[in-house]
Amino acid sequence: MSLKVKKIHILHMNDLHSHFENIPKLVSYIKQQKEQARKKDEILIVVDIGDHMDRMRLETEGTAGRINVELLNESGVSVSTIGNNEGLTFTKEQLEDVYQHKNFRIVACNLFDNKSGFKPEWLETYWIENYEGIRIGWVGATAPYETFYSLQGWEIYEPLTLLEQTINMVKEQVDIIVVLSHLGIKADQQMAEMIPSIDAILGAHTHRFFENGLKEPNKPLICQVGIFGSHIGHLTMDYDLEEKRILDINEKTVNITDCLDDIQIVSTIEKYREIAIRKLSEPVTQINEQLRISIEKESRLGNLLADGVKNWVGADIGIINTGQILDSLEAGVVTKKRIHEICPSPINPCKLKLKGSLLKETLEEALLDEVIFSNPKGYGFRGKELGTLCISGIKVYYDPLAAPMNRIKDIWINDKEFRNEDEYLIGTLDMFTFGGGYTTMKQGTNIQYYLPEFIRDVLSAQLKNKEAIRQSYSQRWFKV
């Protein structure tokens, strides 16, 4: 290659969701490529596009994300953005605490503290880095879940306008502009249309996989490499140092399955796993009897959580899907670790109003095998099967031999007769309001979300309550 042309490598990861089994292989590839770049006098940069943390994993939960930050440090990440799994499942205080240990920059132009109006110390609108005379401007943005961010003490803004403003502000100061986008493919395509001065968009959030990126004439290259770290993106640019322009830009995705595990990373994961286990081994309570869960029918543990969600949000009815709880609880000491094991999904309780006819439709769906044994992807759900519904404050009488969606014969709401035209106040799970699982619930109104607690926090509170455990015996579904 001519002396006036410099090759730049950008290795990018997205949506790892704490899949630690893949990170030693990713880092092995990163180190191999760094050594090759060093020998050839080429530039190599490592970036992460968010959702690296996922509190479904014991190691992340038990270290409050510290393991993830240390792994990003040891991966040699220079700059990152945050995903909704960082911004919404951790409190502001937790993020401030964990990010004091980072050795990399975090950029997101559309997230601000809603009290001060400024960004926290760990977050920047953009970052400009000089790599051997080539100035790269890194601009980031994260998905605008306005209601949820507000409840966590943040102000989140529509990203595309702010991205355009930020890029217009920095483009005269840099030679290359790269956007770290935890927005999803539709927003990335809009961005590519709106802001042609971007050179590359490294994407995330929608878990799309583009082997060679999405490349259209006169538009920035869009890249995204799936989910869980089975692949890493390898973007290369040939940059003309004299003419100050990119001559060529290409993306390839690399399957890291055959890479050897990096021993240092394996050791770090083991170290923090031990810390997490010690932390989560703290006892929460002791129960004197087994509490069972069933995917196909109501059970005491499911009823306990349904009662808890109803009371937590102050509703008339509680509804949870049984697939949220992955295992029964044996009698004896119950630890934080055990509660996390059986209820790992980072899902929040919520309250909504639902018309009686829609409530009945939802309950009818809970009697269908194709719904019970389905597996909704995303929405925070980390179970395997959706499950039927456990309910609280309501009694349902049904004929299992009747035609599908016509099995329910009678419903009583807190000992009052059910009416299709009435509206009912329901305590349930946020995933249903997004269309995950029991999709009829998405039509609910007056939705209120309850953060930062997860449903496992509700379950923990219920397990400490002997009267709540006693009430979980009460039957709610009746065959006729």
* Residues 157-193: tens digit of each pLDDT: 999 999 999 999 999 999 999 999 999 999 999 999 9
Q: Which CATH number fits domain 5-276: 1.20.1250.20, 1.20.140.10, 2.40.30.10, 3.60.21.10?
A: 3.60.21.10
pLDDT (average), residues 10-29: 98
User: What is the percent of the chain with per-residue pLDDT over 70, rounded to a whole number?
Assistant: 99
Q: pLDDT, tens digit, for every residue of 43-65?
A: 999 999 999 999 999 999 999 99
Please give the pLDDT value at position 53.
97
Gap between the Cα atoms of 324 and 457, Å rounded:
13
Kindly indicate the confidence band of residue 415, based on its pLDDT and cuts at 50, 70 and 90: confident
Q: pLDDT, tens digit, for every residue of 127-145?
A: 999 999 999 999 999 999 9
pTM beyond cutoff 0.85 = yes
User: Count of CB atoms within 10 A of residue 469's CB?
Assistant: 21
Q: pLDDT, tens digit, for every residue of 250-287?
A: 999 999 999 999 999 999 999 999 999 999 999 999 99
Question: What residues does each domain of the chain span?
Answer: 5-276, 282-479
User: What is the percent of the chain with per-residue pLDDT over 90, rounded to a whole number?
Assistant: 97
Kindly indicate the confidence band of residue 346, based on its pLDDT and cuts at 50, 70 and 90: very high
pLDDT (average), residues 193-209: 97
Q: pLDDT, tens digit, for every residue of 359-386?
A: 999 999 999 999 999 998 888 899 999 9
The answer for residues whose C-beta is within 8 angstroms of residue 353's C-beta and 6 or more apart is: 423, 424, 425, 426, 444, 445, 446
Please give the pLDDT value at position 335.
98
Query: Cα separations (Å) of 146 from 111, 128, 167, 429, 476?
Result: 10, 28, 23, 18, 36
Please give the pLDDT value at position 199.
98
Please give the pLDDT value at position 14.
98
Please give the pLDDT value at position 3.
66
Please give the pLDDT value at position 31.
98
pLDDT (average), residues 106-134: 97
pLDDT (average), residues 79-87: 97
Residue 304: name the closest of 414, 433, 426, 467 by CA: 467
In this structure, are residues 182 and 206 in contact, taking their beta carbons and an 8 Å threshold? no
User: Count of CB atoms within 10 A of residue 158's CB?
Assistant: 12
Q: Which CATH number fits domain 282-479: 3.90.780.10, 3.30.9.10, 3.40.190.80, 3.40.50.300?
A: 3.90.780.10
Query: Is the pLDDT score of 1 beyond 80?
Result: no
